[in-house]
Each structure stands twice: as structure tokens, then as C-alpha cells.
Structure 1
Amino acid sequence: MRIGLVVDSACDLPRDYIEQHRIGILPITIHLEGRDFVDRREPEATLDFYRNHMSAAADAGTSAFSPEQIKEFFLNDLVTQYDFVVCLTIASSRSPIYENAVKASFAILSEYKPVRSAAGVAGPFSLRVIDSQNLFAGQAITAVETVRMIQDGVGNPNKIRERLDQLIQNTYGYMIPRDLNHLRKRAQKRGDRSIGLVGAMLGTALDIKPLLRAYRNETGPVAKLRHFDDAAQKAFGYIEKRVTAGLMTPTVSLCYGGDLADMRKLPGYDELIRTCRRKNVEVFESIMSITGGANVGEGALAFAFAAEPHEVEL
């Protein structure tokens, strides 16, 4: 069975990894300053956005692929290439992509037969739309595990679904914002009042950074840390503790809202990489997507892993 993977562009994976494993991308469009920026996870375009457009990005609008666009994407590009496709989306609590993909799936499954027949492809086509219940770096954990199962020859869609369902319930995605004012403005535009004006002003004045967690379709602060560099060092140390204790998959995901060279200079980064290498844990590093950056601001650090339930250890 030929099995493929599709993610949306908010899923933070390295571009070379996406290309190597032929991962399909459902793009998200950013509407800003009278222009449309289509987020296709292209590193150069992403860095250009950070350097030249981020100052106005708090006022951006976003558009996910509609059900019709998703249907056309599958019928044009995927139903003849694969027999089964996993479509893994950003948390349904934060985006309509999951709902749109589910709606599209019914049309895809009712219309794929003549497309495959015309291409001379025999047999049925199926797909599974899965809500990652996470964001950014957190989506990458489940995506990497999907690729790993495909490479290992797991050809039973039910086994893939069961494994991903288990992993999703135990994936911890975190983010440390650098610019609280951007985060507050963006949250207000989306109707999210979790970061108020007073809190943002106080955090900026005292250089307090919240540690935000995405877990099982819920997002919110779980700790307050002083100074971004110190917060990053504590975060890297926390990841080290979980790596040492044992993860559910040998994978850590890191993403940064800007040039990755800046992330690699943060205190604690080198120690984390050494620990992961010693424990045979693969680290995936990527520039945070245009979609993610527009929502949380420049210079944000996000990370994720899958582990048994535990409390945050900083």
C-alpha cells in the first residue's frame, strides 16, 4: 500500500525533510498590507517575511484552505499517487483547517474513482483526517512518527491511526514569546482575551515571559519566567530532563521565529543537543512558519516532545 502524509503549513518541519519524504502541504494565506503571503514553508520566503513585514503582522488576516480547495488538492495531486493518506492538521480549537478537511474528505471519497480510473490506477483510495490537537512544533512530533511508520512498512491504516491517537494525547507543545505586545494584539484580533493589556504591559516592563503550553487541544500559560534568554535556558533544561527520563518517540522538535543561527546561540542549546545525541533522540529544527510568526511574533521559541503525563519541570 502506498501511504502519504499531508500537513498544513503551520506544522514546523525542516523544508528538506518535507521534500525528502514528499509531505504534502495545505498552505495558509496571510493577508497583510494589501498583499497575500502564501505560506508554503519555504525558508527564504519565511525569513523575508520576518525581516520586512513582521512589524505590521499583528494586524494580519489569515485564510485556511477551504473544503473545495482541499478537495481539488487531493483529486489533482494525491488520489493517484497514494492508496491511503494521513491528513494531519493544526489543533481544531485554533483553526478551521481540521473541520474543512473533514468536510472535503466526504467529497474526495465520493469522487476519486474516475480520477484513478483515468490514470490507470486500480484499487480503492482512503484517507484519514487527524486533529493533531497541537500547534507548530507540536504538530511535527506526530508528523515525524507518521513518516517513521511509513518507512518501517506499517501498511495497516488502523494501526497508524491507533498509534497517532495515542501519541497525540501525550504530545506537549510549548512556546516562549519574545514580544508580548504583538501576542496581545494578535490574540485580541482573534477574539482571544487570555493575554490582556495590563498583563502585556507588566510583562514587558519586568521582562516576564510566559511559558505557553499546547496539550490535548487546549492552550494556555503554565509558568512565568524572567528574561527571554534565561527562559530559553530553563526550557532547554526541561527538555533535557524529559529526554533523560525517556520519551514516547525519539524525537524533539524545535522552531524559532527568525534565523535558526540566533536560536542556536541561546544558553542551554548546546547542552540539549549533546544530551539528545547521547540518548539517540533526533532533533528537528525549523524556522517558525509565516503563519506561526504572524500569530506569536518575531523571536518566539517553540519546542515539543511526546512523553508520559507529567508536571512542568523548570
Structure 2
Amino acid sequence: MQEWAEAIRRGDRRKVARAISWIENRDERREPLIEALFPYTGKACLIGITGAPGAGKSTLVDRLVSQVRRRQGKKVAVIAVDPTSPFTGGALLGDRVRMTRHALDEGVFIRSMGTRGHLGGLAHAAKEATRVLDAAGTDVIFIETVGVGQSEIDIMHLADTVTLVLTPGSGDAVQVFKAGIMETADLFVINKADMDGTKKLVHDVEEMLHLAKSEAPWLPPICETVSKDGRGIEDLWATLEAHDAYLKESGEWEKRRFVRLRREVQEIMGEELTRRLQAHVRDPCFQRDLDRVQAREQVPHEVARCWLERLAGKGGDTP
């Protein structure tokens, strides 16, 4: 596995792609590889791009990739989290057809990942995929999510900068305020700003920002773009860089990453506990105890406590 890790660190695109496939398929080789790569991660800038379907997120990301490559020559990756096919389990849109012009650029890596039923539209595997890309020397990783919803707040647990894309006339601003995503976004993008209603949308967002974040050290800027012809993209990238600088100068960057790592450890523990519990659910003794609960011979909390103790290795024999 060390050989694979070294190849990925050298930027071997085929091995990077294969490693992400291992992650998606929960291959047994995934964990040892991530463990070997972990010490070499934590350098890439992670930018989340979220917003309602049809907001133009993919075109916006495509323009940002071009901006970064043309002006700075940095290595860029895109993880596009798409709906999952009910037949194959893979991402429905495949490797982003709208970004094919970057296909021959060795400095750009694009990968679509299925949501796999994850409510937030953010594949659980996306976190580990960013680790592989980070270790491969990628400077900037864009994570584009499926769409906005209450659970879409999950993006804040992965990205350093959360960019929320809105469009005029869609009523997005009200929905964003209701869903609580206003507190999550570090930057607002009014895309398709050549449409009627742009000024009103900007005004609405400004009002909500002053209500929600009037005393925050970073007041999220509002950028206007027309991604189809590239208008506003240069200013948008400059604003993203400004936020990255703010995070590092204020100490917020390190604080956010520390919180995310703590959360990740807890998630991994939760998954392992769930897996072990599922194994016990099939145990005839567990079914027997459930029958006792149904017959009012045992209390639900008592049964749960006994089986959790057994799971932790404290309960000895079957309760």
C-alpha cells in the first residue's frame, strides 16, 4: 500500500482515480491507503459550491477552474456530487459533461460521485476523496453539491469556504433564510446576474445578512456573476482568495479543521457501532429480548443498555 501512496503523492492520475473508486465502493484497501496518505494532507484549499438545481453551479465551477489554471497555474480538482442512479449506484451525470474542455489538462482532475442516498446530497466518501487529491498535490478542490435543503448544511463539515449560489426570480433567498443556510455560507454568488430581479435579490440578501451576521468578524460578500460568458468570475475568485487569507490570518482555518477532524472521528465511531449493532440484531437472543419487551416482561431501556454493554465488551454473556 505504501507503493500506491507514493504513486498518488507523485500525482499518478490513474492511481488517484482508482483510489477514489476504492473509497466509493468501500473496498478493504481503502482504509490502509487513507492511513498512509493522511500525514501528507491538510494543504489543499477546499471550496464548497452549493445552491438550488439550475442555479448554474457547474458552469460557475467550470469558469473558476479556467480562472485558476490560466492566471495562477495551480493544480485543481472538482468533486461533483450528483444524484445516484437507482440501477448502477453511480453518479447519474458521470464525469461532468459541461467540463470536458478541461479533459486534456493534466493540472485538472474532475470526478463525479453519487449521493448514495445521503440526504444532504453530499457523498460520505467525498471527504476521503479530498484527502487523496490533497495528498496528490492538488492546490484547490471544488466540491459541488446536488442542491439546497436543510441537510445541505453538511457542506460546512467538509469545505473551508462555503459558497452559496442564488439566481434572480427563483425565491431562493427566502428558502435559504428558512433553511438556516444563511449562517453556513461564507460567500454569496448571484449568478445569472443579467436577469431581471438581480438588484432585488442582492438587497434581500444584504438585509438578511445584517440580521443574521451583523456582528460577525467576516460579513459574507455578495458577488454578481454571469457564468455563461465569464462575467464576474475574476472578482469571484479574488473574493474566494480573500476569504482563504482571512481564515488563515484569524486562526479560523485551523479552528475549523480541528472541529471537522473531531467530528470525523465521532462519525467513524458511530458507523462502527452501527455496524456491530446490526450484527447483533440478527442474533436470536436479541430477538428473544425484543419479544420480552413486547410482552412487557422487560423495559426497552434495560434491553438497550444490556446490549450496548455487551457491545462494549462489559456485559459478558448474553443479557
TM over 0.5, shorter chain: no
Into which bin does the TM-score normalised by the smaller protein fall? under 0.3
If the length of structure 1 is used for normalisation, what is the TM-score? Answer: 0.23
Larger radius of gyration: 2
If the length of structure 2 is used for normalisation, what is the TM-score? Answer: 0.23
Which one scores higher on RCO, CA 8 angstroms, separation ≥ 6?
Answer: 1
Higher fraction of helix: 2
